[in-house]
Amino acid sequence: MGSLSIWHWLIVLLVVVLVFGTKKLANIGSDMGKAVKGFKEGMKSDEEEPASTPSKQQIPGQTVEGEVKEKTQTKA
């Protein structure tokens, strides 16, 4: 029970082609390629996102935590 030889892999490939058909296998390969490409683009955009977001000091009109904009009197 050693490793599988090239003949075993060819027989497995032949059975897979007979079961699924070449058109369906091509569609599966295309879909897998698109999924991998989308995953890579998503990972790349996640890495670039922190560098492109402005810091809190650069956003105009932003309230700093604890800052009071308007002081109002409440009746007790």
Q: Give the C-alpha separation, 27 to 30, whole Å.
A: 5
Whether the pLDDT of residue 27 is over 60: the answer is yes
pTM of the model: 0.42
pLDDT the model gives residue 64: 59
Tokens of 52: 């492109």
Tokens of 63: 């309230």
Question: 28-75 pLDDT, tens per residue?
Answer: 889 999 999 999 998 887 766 555 455 545 566 665 566 566 777 777
pLDDT the model gives residue 15: 93
Question: 3-25 pLDDT, tens per residue?
Answer: 889 999 999 999 998 998 988 98
DSSP string, 2-67: ----HHHHHHHHHHHHHHH-HHHHHHHHHHHHHHHHHHHHHHHHHHHHHHHSPPGGGSTTPPPTT-
